[in-house]
A = this chain, B = another copy of it.
């Protein structure tokens, strides 16, 4: 781990400050440091400390990319990493994130551990999303969390049909459908009533959003299948695909959506003693009483 990139949440002054601090520290440790062009400028980091690159290519040929920001920055960095196989390490600037588990204060001590080869690498499933229109592939995209088909603002609802490996599963009328990886189970899917899925499980989660049929419950299906979602031809003319909650794409009636596990995985770097459940506990306040009246 000597050639390290940094991707920064530019709109956050603390992230810029932390980027400068980390770049200097890494440089001092003898590492080669690469930051984004925008961070170089905004954080005023000298070229002798860190070279700069476009965010889209920064991850190529790096040993590690450190993400300084929040979970949204991590997701964006994941797009930059793409299929390069470069591992990511997330440092949050405010509250602990599901993806950015290292606090600002622990940044340098954690990095010292990493440079001393004390860390573990966890592989996270990526979903490959393909849109087919009239049998023609018009988009292919990798997501870490989820892809969502959602009715547009003008539409009353979405009508779609799901099949897996050519086996019909169900048709539904709903506001939308979330197709999530285990990593995505704690993102949008959780808001829509989905369960928490441990990130190492080989499964894909289907969670309908506000389904008309009340028994249309979240379902976890085998991770090796090919999921096909077909939009009803009689559906509204106003629907949209979202990729990791950040990129949108308009859909048309009759569009087909293919989702399967990518052969590529995201490599996430963690502290050697990191515990997945402690992140859950802190994010969801499991230790505290967030709830009902206590009669005792």
Contact = CB atoms under 8 A, between A and B. Distances in A.
Interface stretch (A38-46, A107-115, A252-260, A288-296): A288-296
A205 B275 CA distance: 19
A290 B170 contact: no
Interface in A219-247: 219-222, 238-240, 242, 244-246
Nearest to A209: B210
Copies of this chain present in the complex amount to 4
A128 interface: no
A76 to B, nearest CB: 9
Nearest to A212: B291
A139 to B, nearest CB: 16
A218 interface: yes
B245 A290 contact: no
Contact of A245 (B75, B189, B218, B295): B295
B191 A217 contact: no
24 contacts: A71-B295, A75-B295, A152-B152, A153-B153, A169-B277, A186-B293, A188-B210, A188-B293, A189-B292, A193-B193, A196-B220, A197-B219, A198-B222, A213-B285, A214-B214, A214-B215, A214-B291, A214-B292, A215-B291, A216-B284, A217-B284, A283-B291, A284-B290, A285-B285
B295 A72 contact: yes
Interface of A: 70-72, 75, 95, 97-99, 145, 150, 152-154, 156, 164, 167-175, 186-198, 200-203, 205, 209-222, 238-240, 242, 244-246, 248, 250, 275, 277-278, 280-281, 283-296
Contacts of A202: 201-202
